[in-house]
C-alpha cells in the first residue's frame, strides 16, 4: 500500500518562509552602502561578501558569496540563492555586489544566469 501526501500546508508554509527571507534580504541590500561592501577570503576558492557597517554577527552582515570556477568567478546573493552572476575577475565580482547594494539596482531576476 502506498501512502500519498494529501496535506500541502507544509509546502505552502515553506514557500511563505522563503518569500519572507527573500524580502528581508532585499531590504538589507537596499540599506547597504556600496562603499561598505567587503570581499573576505574563506579559503583559496571561496570568499564571503559582507556589509562592513553591520554589527558583527548580524545576519544582515552577510550579502553573499563568491566561488572560483574554471573560467572565472560565480557570485551568489543571499537575496537570490537560486541565481548566479558569472564574472571574469574577483574585482568584477566585488563591483557586482557593490552594484546590487544601496537601492541602486535591486536583484533583477530576469537578467541573471542560473547555474
Domain positions in the chain? 9-100
Find cell 547594494 and name the residue.
101
Residue 54's SS3 state is coil
Q: What confidence tens digit (pLDDT) does each residue in 19-47 have?
A: 445 556 666 667 788 999 999 999 999 99
Phi, psi (deg, nearest 5) at residue 75: -105, 135
Phi, psi (deg, nearest 5) at residue 40: -115, 130
Chain centroid, CA 74 distance in Å:
11
Q: What confidence tens digit (pLDDT) does each residue in 64-94 have?
A: 999 999 999 999 998 888 889 999 999 999 9
pTM: 0.68
Element (H, E) at 86: strand 85-87
C-alpha cell at 69: 570556477
Q: Report how far residue 19's alpha carbon sits from residue 3's, in angstroms, rounded to the nearest whole number.
A: 30
Amino acid at each position: 500500500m502506498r501512502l500519498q501526501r494529501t496535506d500541502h500546508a507544509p509546502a505552502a508554509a515553506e514557500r511563505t518562509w522563503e518569500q519572507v527571507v527573500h524580502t528581508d534580504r532585499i531590504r538589507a541590500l537596499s540599506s547597504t552602502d556600496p562603499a561598505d561592501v567587503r570581499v573576505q577570503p574563506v579559503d583559496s576558492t571561496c570568499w564571503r561578501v559582507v556589509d562592513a557597517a553591520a554589527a558583527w554577527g548580524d545576519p544582515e552582515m552577510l550579502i553573499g558569496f563568491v566561488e572560483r570556477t574554471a573560467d572565472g568567478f560565480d557570485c551568489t546573493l543571499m537575496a537570490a540563492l537560486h541565481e548566479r552572476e558569472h564574472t571574469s575577475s574577483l574585482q568584477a565580482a566585488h563591483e557586482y555586489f557593490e552594484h546590487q547594494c544601496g537601492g541602486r539596482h535591486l536583484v533583477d531576476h530576469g537578467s541573471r544566469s542560473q547555474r
